[in-house]
Structure 1
Amino acid sequence: MNTKDKIQKFARELDEGLPLKHPSCWNESAESLELLELGKALAGQDFSVSHRTAVLSKVQSSTHFKQEVTNMKIKSSFRRPVMIMASILIAGGLSISFVKPSFAEELFGRVLQKINLGNIIASAKDPNVAPPFPEEWKGKLFDKDGTVITSFTKKLGEVYNADGEQIVNFDGDKLITKSEQEQRDKEAAARILAVKSQAELDKYALFKVKLPKYLPEGFAFDHGEFSKSEEGVNGKYLDLFFTSEHKGQSIKMQFRYSDKETAYEMSTSGKMEKVKVNGAEAVMMNDRTLDWEADGVLYGIATHGLERSEVLKIAESIR
């Protein structure tokens, strides 16, 4: 396996979280295992649990987080930003999540391919190009021994700020401490409206909610989540959760009313291709995530443990 393939494989494995829970399935070098442990340390906890309390994707789902940072348009499919930070620190180059576009360009290297679907833009980055250290982080990031971190070339464990507080996330170019993230999680959880029935989903959404007519065996729709505030429920964004009888398999979805506010960009250092979903152009990444627009709605599906053909079949059943 060449260097590029190894980096892409590592990025996918860290992204999916499998080796973090089952190290025995990562049959590579001790250095790879050490890097995976870095991702686990930075993540701090099982992000599938955090994401239930703090929102659908990376501590805050793009749904709820969008209200607080409307100037940020980078989106990664259902993953905590802390995992992105882990990938940056190891120069693994996973998808970008909620980073200011200018900051994203600073963090990630050369674009090999770009797919523009209008309100969805996807890029494939060169996995062999290590990201430069952001100017905004210089003098603010330290290792466990208190030594300032100035590049991504050395191996890192947990990382801290100048006051010795552990850094577990970032918001644009701002580094977020563990205590700050815990508070954000609590505040985000209080803004979630969980909905069980499709009739109620239609009541709050600003678009017709079309649940998939096909789900792989063992899967079932559980509930949807909207964000709420003193002004009411935000019907532009809907996160959908599904249960599974099979360990190691998952499906998560996000639907958005399509406009300039909800438009997003995403990036990967892995495989990216343009495909069709019911005649509409779509972007598939790493054979497991799918994004497209149809009838004024932006659709995003993130899966784990499913075949590529199954992912497409689920998407095509949304009519």
Structure 2
Amino acid sequence: MNKRKKWVRFSVTAASVAMVGIISLAAVQPSSASEMMGKIMNTISLGHISVSQVEPAPEQLAGAIPEEMKHQIMAQAKDQPVKPDALVVKDPGQLNQYTSFHVLLPAYQPSGYTFDRAEFYKDEQGTVSGSKYIDIYYTNPETGKFIYMQQRHADEETAFSQSTTHQVNRVQVNHTDAVMIGEHSIDWEAGGVLYGITAKGLSKDEILKIAESIPTS
């Protein structure tokens, strides 16, 4: 289950902030993954989160991911279809019925964006109870753009690491260390929960404003 959740997080990020920006190692064959990356330039670790900025190897990266796969991933990010094995909840007031932690939503959304849905993976019995993960989407119907958020109960199972060719910076979210990846993605840990926000159509300042409006303290 953990591996599947990591792939959801990374595939959305990779497609949202450009194909060669944030790279999921699950998107390529294991033998090719290490060859795609150059040297590690910077690593920021925050409890159960670790993000490394790497120098790409252009001559290897160009052919590492087939064009067909690139188009598939980009289409997935653009359309954002509901996952076939997911429970979809449209009422934000019901989200805490399905999680093992308290879900907190941002008080601020940029103009035009509204809560669209939350998604949970079902267990082997086809139900959701005490989930450690939640995927949340805010959409702008006029532009078709979306804000993707993921929250996870913070423990060894849900901990994750990722690599990116975008610049990685340590920033603050309500006096808590966070990692800003490029201009459109942020991750941090607070109160035993991992938070992540990605929004290709928003500025860094807007993403920080959304993050700081989540009442984690």
The letter of the residue matching 1:130 is P
Q: Which has the higher strand share?
A: 2
Contact 2:150-2:196 within 8 A present in 1 as well? yes
Offset at 1:285?
Answer: 1.2
Aligned to 1:34: none
Residue 67 of structure 1: CA displacement?
5.1
* 1:121 match: 50
Are the counterparts in 2 of residues 220 and 242 from structure 1 also a CA contact under 8 Å? yes
Q: Deviations over 1:7-44 (max 9, x none)?
A: xxxxxxxxxxxxxxxxxxxxxxxxxxxxxxxxxxxxxx
Extract unaligned runs of 5+ from structure 1: 1-65, 88-92, 134-150, 160-166, 170-185
Cα distance change of structure 1 residues 124 and 131 upon mapping to structure 2, 3 Å threshold: farther
1:221 to 111, 115, 125: 115
CA distance in 2, matches of 1:73, 1:248: 23
Output the aligned Cα RMSD. Answer: 3.4
Q: How do 1:120-139 residues align onto structure 2 when only pairs under 5 Å count?
A: 120-127=49-56, 129-130=57-58, 132=60
CA separation in 2, counterparts of 1:74 and 1:104?
18
Kindly provide the amino acid, as one letter, of the partner of residue 212 in structure 1.
Answer: P
User: SS at 1:106's partner residue?
Assistant: helix
Q: Percent identity?
A: 38
1:73 touches 1:264 (CA, 8 Å); kept in 2? no
Match of 1:105 in 2: 34
How far apart, CA to CA, are the structure 1 residues paired with 2:51 and 2:30? 13
Aligned partner of 1:237 in structure 2 is 133
Deviations 1:52-95, CA, capped at 9 Å, x for gaps = xxxxxxxxxxxxxx45658x789526246xx59x95xxxxx431
1:95 to 14, 22, 26: 22
Provide the C-alpha distance between the structure 1 equivalents of 2:197 and 2:99, rounded to a whole number of angstroms.
Answer: 18
**TM-aligned CA distance change 1:102 to 1:209, over 3 Å:** farther
Spell out the pairing of 1:48-63 with structure 2 (5 A cutoff): none
1:12 matched residue in structure 2: none
Q: Which has the higher helix share?
A: 1
TM-score by length of 2: 0.78
Query: What SS does the corresponding residue of 1:109 show, helix, strand or coil?
Result: strand
CA–CA distance in structure 2, aligned partners of residues 226 and 284 of structure 1: 25
Relative to structure 1, is the Cα distance of residues 101 and 263 closer, same or farther in structure 2, using a 3 angstrom cutoff? farther
- After TM superposition, the structure 1 = structure 2 runs for residues 1-319 of structure 1, keeping only pairs within 5 Å, are 66=1, 76=10, 78-79=12-13, 87=19, 93-99=20-26, 104-127=33-56, 129-130=57-58, 132=60, 152=63, 158=68, 189-231=83-125, 232-233=127-128, 235-247=131-143, 249-319=145-215
Q: Deviations over 1:246-283 (max 9, x none)?
A: 42642111111111111111221122211011111111
Q: Cα 1:318–1:206, aligned 2, differ >3 Å: closer, same or farther?
A: same
**CA 1:253–1:123 in structure 2 vs 1: closer, same or farther (change >3 Å)?**
same
Q: Is the 8 A contact 2:90 2:118 kept in 1?
A: yes
SS in structure 2 of the partner of residue 110 of structure 1: strand
Structure 2 unaligned blocks of 5 or more: 74-80
Aligned pair count reads 202
Q: Distance in 2 between matches of 1:157 and 1:103?
A: 15
Change (3 A) 1:298 1:158: closer
